Structure 1
Amino acid sequence: MPHIAILGAGITGVTTAYSLHKRGFDVTVYDRQRYAAMETSFANGGQLSASNAEVWNQWSTVLKGIKWMLQADAPLSVNPMPQWHKISWMAEFLGNIPRYKSNTIATTKLAVAARAGLTEMADHTGVDFDFTPAGILHFYKTQKDLDHARRVNGLLAQGGLTRTELTPDEVLTKEPTLRGDILGGFWTESDSTGDIHKFTVGLADWLKRQGVTFKLGHAVTDVRSDADAVTIRAQGEDRFDGVVVTAGVGSRAIAKKLGDRVNVYPVKGYSITVNLPDAVSQAGAPNVSLL
């Protein structure tokens, strides 16, 4: 069977390993940390929430970001020091503002599919990750925000997500502890929460028992792609039929080394592509994906 390398043992890397293993591939997962889920997936929000699939590529986000740079307690912090990586990312972000609607619909479809996939994984492996099928409530205190939420709801519906608009009284019935003038809200029954770190670690442990190789504590120092294979250099050097890069911000540097062999589609401000067909072993160049 084709042997695929995955760079990164966070939630994306480990769930990708599960999917490839299930489809019969040999899989090896690399991560510079000694354990899975020790970076972004260590303490992420833990929401399985397709209702938050609206992309950030809007001028309003840019204006908020500029304003927040002057606030010590801002929810977003951007170091103003110029850097090529940062400038290129921001240019990519701005370039996708015209695709705000189509990207939101596409992201919603991905989120709905991801929720179903995570549920299937948890059921199949028996991983305990404090799953709570509680639903998610969004509420609004200004007419401007509520009107925007209604427009977003139309895009989410096109992506296959069902949300219910609530009156102020219905919002308070859902969450009686809320205070202040609430104009309305939206309720997503199908959303849920869980511990992302526990899920990723538990799934990685299950995959190890199934024969998936995890090279943890192996920092990848070089990735090369030629006509026959992808070569990964860490503590040693190994060749694979394909590679999936799930290394967070570091993915961009790796993509640069792989050159035009990687297709990059910016979604929700990140670079995501799902480009790993079943026929990885077909004649031609090895397959490369950046998630």
Structure 2
Amino acid sequence: MHVLVLGAGVIGTSAAWYLQKAGHQVTVLERQGGAGRETSFANGGQISVSHAEPWANPSAPLKLMKWLGREDAPLLFRLRADWRQWRWGLSFLRECTAARTSRNIAQIVNLGLYSRQSLQELRAETGIQYDHLERGILHFYTSQSEWDAAQEPAEVMRRHGADLDMLTPDQVVAIEPALAGARDKIVGGSMTVADESGDAGMFTRELAKLCEAAGVSFLYNTTVFGMNEEGGEITGVRVRSEDGSYATLQADAYVVCLGSYSPMMVRPHGIDLNIYPAKGYSVSMPVADPDKAYHVSLTDDEYKLVFSRLGNRLRIAGTAELNGYNLDLNPVRCEAIVRRVEELFPGAGDTSQASFWTGLRPLTPSNVPYIGRTRVRNLYLDTGHGTLGWTHACGSGRAIADIISGNNPPVDFAFTQA
């Protein structure tokens, strides 16, 4: 059948790849001039299957109280006269119970394991290059209370197949010697040797080329501003092209991969997605001194930052700011990231050439995405991946291709029936 995929970020492009592999004719619609130019452009770079504890967990409410009023807080709520933000916030608090956190971790780990396997198979099949490293992810803690609180979620993740090993501070530094200068701050860590890192933006661009070579059509500079519905199914999407002309494009099935903008697209069709944009920041800089730079992908628990080595570049990303669809770069938050890099790895990166970026992560209260069918017969969802879009992209795309093809995906995940 002919499938229209709405959005050419890492999620939509991955879905297009697996849909064409399943034998479908695929067209991808993207408002930017190329693939991977929004939230996928400069994210943290981690395929972090085994660091799956969601933002909503039993310790989150107390942390939020502690972070109130801090402009550089890892999770910053800018309260607005926006009922969707308030509804999302209340739902987030409901997800903070131990039982819900455990359930959400199981969902996130199951999808992540499947997705990492799918990415590895895709890489072996195509030889795609995206500055990837297979050196695992090292999670380090500089707060004793955070380290203590990490033990139970780690056990939950291990029960669901995550290869998570808890480490002493000396073991942390042995794995990543660049942390030796911060040894007195580290109270513990965890290592997942099977996890990976790589440039999600580069991956998306390269995969789009592979898709095109396989027959997928990408219509760039094409904005989708609505869908037509008749008789319980979508009959076309209304688009505006770069030259200002309007058209209605038709297909047999439609997949919404519009990230934070997905709720507005499907709401007129009776589908209510509890997704809110969480603005994340990243800093990229050239390596200044290879002897001082890290080589293993890292997660800094206290500051909620991830560090990835992308060739001769350092990528540091994290924090979340709930401030509607605002994309302004906040210099305080940018400077806080650079300050932490210099504190942990002084002289490793050329901060004079640092470039800053921000993108809107499509965050559900549970951090579990919407993947699957909707009440509209030929309308499907692949959205709401929050902080784990790069981690879950290939598994989500493979699963939605199975669902559209009438097959059951081979992963234990509660697929959406919206």
The two structures have a TM-score, normalised by structure 2, of: 0.63
Q: CA deviation at 1:267?
A: 5.7
Structure 2 letter corresponding to 1:21: Q
Tell me how far apart the structure 1 counterparts of residues 364 and 72 of structure 2 sit (CA, whole Å): 27
Matched, 1:286 2:378: yes
Cα-to-partner distance string for 1:83-113 (whole Å, 9 max, x where unaligned) = 1332232233233334111011110111111
Range 54-63 or range 265-274, more displaced = 265-274
Q: CA deviation at 1:159?
A: 2.3
1:136 to 1:290, Cα distance in 2 relative to 1, 3 A: closer
- Check conservation: 1:130, 1:195, Cα contact below 8 A: yes
1:61 to 1:136, Cα distance in 2 relative to 1, 3 A: same
Unmatched tracts of structure 2, length 5 or more: 241-246, 276-362, 384-418
Tell me how far apart the structure 2 counterparts of residues 238 and 214 of structure 1 sit (CA, whole Å): 13
Aligned counterpart, 1:239: 250
Secondary structure of residue in 2 paired with 1:251: helix
Aligned counterpart, 1:280: none
- Check conservation: 2:60, 2:96, Cα contact below 8 A: no
Matched, 1:274 2:274: no
Tell me how far apart the structure 2 counterparts of residues 163 and 271 of structure 1 sit (CA, whole Å): 20
1:214 to 1:189, Cα distance in 2 relative to 1, 3 A: same
1:264 to 1:24, Cα distance in 2 relative to 1, 3 A: farther
Secondary structure of residue in 1 paired with 2:56: coil
Where does 1:142-221 land on structure 2 (aligned, <5 Å)?
Answer: 142-178=143-179, 179=182, 180-221=184-225
Where does 1:100-179 land on structure 2 (aligned, <5 Å)?
Answer: 100-178=101-179, 179=182
Percentage of identical aligned residues: 33
Q: CA deviation at 1:71?
A: 1.5
Aligned counterpart, 2:269: 258
Q: CA deviation at 1:78?
A: 2.9
Where does 1:27-106 land on structure 2 (aligned, <5 Å)?
Answer: 27-98=26-97, 99-106=100-107
Q: How many residues align?
A: 283
Structure 1 letter corresponding to 2:372: N
Cα-to-partner distance string for 1:119-178 (whole Å, 9 max, x where unaligned) = 222222222100111111112234322222211111111221111122232122112232
1:200 to 1:110, Cα distance in 2 relative to 1, 3 A: same
Unmatched tracts of structure 1, length 5 or more: 278-283
Structure 2 letter corresponding to 1:162: D
Tell me how far apart the structure 1 counterparts of residues 250 and 15 of structure 2 sit (CA, whole Å): 19
Secondary structure of residue in 2 paired with 1:58: coil
**RMSD of the alignment, in Å?**
2.4
Secondary structure of residue in 1 paired with 2:76: coil
1:257 to 1:124, Cα distance in 2 relative to 1, 3 A: farther
Structure 2 letter corresponding to 1:120: E
Cα-to-partner distance string for 1:53-73 (whole Å, 9 max, x where unaligned) = 111112532443344341122
Structure 2 letter corresponding to 1:14: T
Range 154-163 or range 263-272, more displaced = 263-272
- Check conservation: 2:256, 2:381, Cα contact below 8 A: yes
Structure 2 letter corresponding to 1:289: L
Secondary structure of residue in 1 paired with 2:162: coil
Tell me how far apart the structure 1 counterparts of residues 20 and 163 of structure 2 sit (CA, whole Å): 32
Cα-to-partner distance string for 1:187-216 (whole Å, 9 max, x where unaligned) = 110011101110000000110111111111
Structure 2 letter corresponding to 1:42: F
Tell me how far apart the structure 1 counterparts of residues 253 and 68 of structure 2 sit (CA, whole Å): 41
Tell me how far apart the structure 1 counterparts of residues 53 and 125 of structure 2 sit (CA, whole Å): 30
Secondary structure of residue in 2 paired with 1:240: coil
Where does 1:16-31 land on structure 2 (aligned, <5 Å)?
Answer: 16-31=15-30
Cα-to-partner distance string for 1:227-282 (whole Å, 9 max, x where unaligned) = 3444211031022222221111111111212214x7879866446222269xxxxx
Q: CA deviation at 1:46?
A: 0.7
Secondary structure of residue in 2 paired with 1:223: strand
Q: CA deviation at 1:23?
A: 0.9
Tell me how far apart the structure 2 counterparts of residues 42 and 181 of structure 1 sit (CA, whole Å): 32
The two structures have a TM-score, normalised by structure 1, of: 0.88
- Check conservation: 2:52, 2:109, Cα contact below 8 A: yes
Structure 1 letter corresponding to 2:8: A
Tell me how far apart the structure 2 counterparts of residues 239 and 218 of structure 1 sit (CA, whole Å): 14
Tell me how far apart the structure 2 counterparts of residues 144 and 68 of structure 1 sit (CA, whole Å): 16
